[in-house]
Amino acid sequence: MIGPVTVIGAGLAGSECAWQLAIRGIPVLLYEMRPERSTPAHHTGNFAELVCSNSLRSDELTNAVGLLKEEMRQLDSLVLQCADRHKVAAGGALAVDRNGFSEEITQRLTEHPNVTVIRQEVTEIPDGVVVIASGPLSSDSIAARINLLCPHSDLHFYDAVAPIVTLDSVDLSHAWFASRYDKGTADYVNCSMTKAEYEAFVTELISAEEAPVHGFDDTGVFEGCMPVEVMARRGMDTLRYGPLKPVGLRDPQTGKEPYAVVQLRQDNADGTLFNLVGFQTHLKWGEQKRVFSMIPALKNAEFVRYGVMHRNTYLNSPELLDRYYRLRSDSRIRFAGQMTGVEGYVESAASGLLVGVETAAELLGFEPVNFPQETAIGALGLYISQGSIGDFQPMNINFGIIRSLDQRIRGKRNKNAEISRRSLAMIADLRRKEVFRYEDHC
């Protein structure tokens, strides 16, 4: 009888890891401290709660995260199954109704016969095989235990969350539905701004009062989640080349490209809530209302959630972890999720999937999968375990860390499509390994 695996944390990584173990017949003790003890960023006690954007980014195979998602689909990912069932309109991206998505993940894990859910904080590292997926907002107690395991190895950044408004409070006389370059369906609300409106907005944004965050400074912000006010400080036109870029959008009222555009993306299945794309912020809530209401379409906007900022902690993983995300100094302990240095929802879930599959293979006496660098999930694990120890930085999946093709392919999209084709062929071949025939040994 294989003893239970303890998974600490039921975020995206912990939930995916627990699922991969459970469907292979391995008992799991899944610890989640919410709702008894929450964090500055969470709002519910549900598993896999999306605390920032509701987008899992591009779903196209010419994009690395699109490839990673398709690999995960082929590997029976719980996160992707639920994301696909709760998707909302977002052009070429995969965005979800965040409540329906996390509620289904919670239900499926809670009801699985091989998963025992324990709603309490973990303060000590348990005996046996343990997967620590407590996330960048780990409680002080478990963070202290991690520090003892990994002394002088953590680094941290700050993540910021974007606000959400109700659609019926948006003034559509200053906005229209469209996707950039009219690609796909018209899924975004595009809020136009003139040059004068944009410059007045940026001026106020730069001087707006920020909420106090202990130890915060602009250099401690991860580039992929940069607060909009921090971007604005880099120059008057920075936002126009970033989240407010008007390229590929034409205002139907004028027939011309606006000076700047704020995009809103659907946030729930009913289409009543929309988030401000790229508007992560740590301004005080009153200041968010004041400054963001300067966007003409949002003059009378009803904010149902304001942006917040929270600390994210990462391990110096190349020094500490192997390609299976196991602690080199104690292989019974594994890590998964953002604290390993993977950046993004999909990447966090992918790390949990890899840890779950490889842990199951080890416990069941099968050979490891050893996902190769030609696959997105393998490339991410190899980056985490073999990257630069002295200058390790959190990383989104990208084609730059996936092994290059042996032949030259003309055109970036064609090359990326061929990398994806090669990867998915390898995933199909890897699925012949015994650890993927889990119907036989559940």
Q: Give me the DSSP letters along 33-45.
A: -TTTS--SS--SS
Q: Residue written as tokens 């696909």? A: 84
Name the pLDDT band for 43 (thresholds 50, 70, 90).
low
The two beta strands, 93-96 and 115-118, are unpaired
Report yes or no: 297 and 191 within 8 Å, Cβ to Cβ.
yes
Mean pLDDT of 124-151: 82
Name the pLDDT band for 134 (thresholds 50, 70, 90).
confident
* Among the ranges given (113-127, 164-178, 231-245, 304-318), the one the predictor scored with the smallest mean pLDDT: 304-318
Position 183 scores a pLDDT of 83
Mean pLDDT of 37-44: 64
Mean pLDDT of 297-313: 83
> What is d(CA 188, CA 285) in angstroms, rounded to the nearest whole number?
24
Position 41 scores a pLDDT of 56
* Higher-confidence position of 111 and 311: 111
Q: What is the pLDDT of residues 367-400, one digit of tens each?
A: 999 999 999 999 999 989 986 555 576 778 988 8
Taken in order of first residue, the domains within the chain and their CATH numbers are 5-157+312-440 (3.50.50.60), 164-307 (2.40.30)
Name the pLDDT band for 215 (thresholds 50, 70, 90).
very low
As a residue count, the chain comes to: 442
> What is d(CA 25, CA 435) in angstroms, rounded to the nearest whole number?
11
Q: Which of 270, 61, 74, 58 is CA-nearest to residue 179? A: 58
Q: What is the pLDDT of residues 139-160, one digit of tens each?
A: 677 777 887 887 655 555 566 7
Mean pLDDT of 294-300: 97
Residue percentage of the chain with pLDDT more than 90: 65
Encoding tokens for residue 102? 């996390």
Q: What is the pLDDT of residues 236-247, one digit of tens each?
A: 999 999 999 999
Q: How far is CA 385 from the centre of its chain?
A: 20
Report yes or no: 175 and 297 within 8 Å, Cβ to Cβ.
yes
Phi-psi region at 249: left, alpha or beta (left = phi > 0; alpha = psi -120 to 50): beta
Encoding tokens for residue 169? 């409070």
Q: Residue written as tokens 């907002």? A: 137
pTM of the model: 0.73
Name the pLDDT band for 305 (thresholds 50, 70, 90).
confident
Q: What is the pLDDT of residues 4-32, one digit of tens each?
A: 999 999 999 999 999 999 999 999 999 99
Distances (CA, A) of 314 to 47, 54, 69, 191, 240: 21, 22, 23, 36, 31
Rounded to 10 degrees, what is the CA torsion of 199, 201, 206, 210?
180
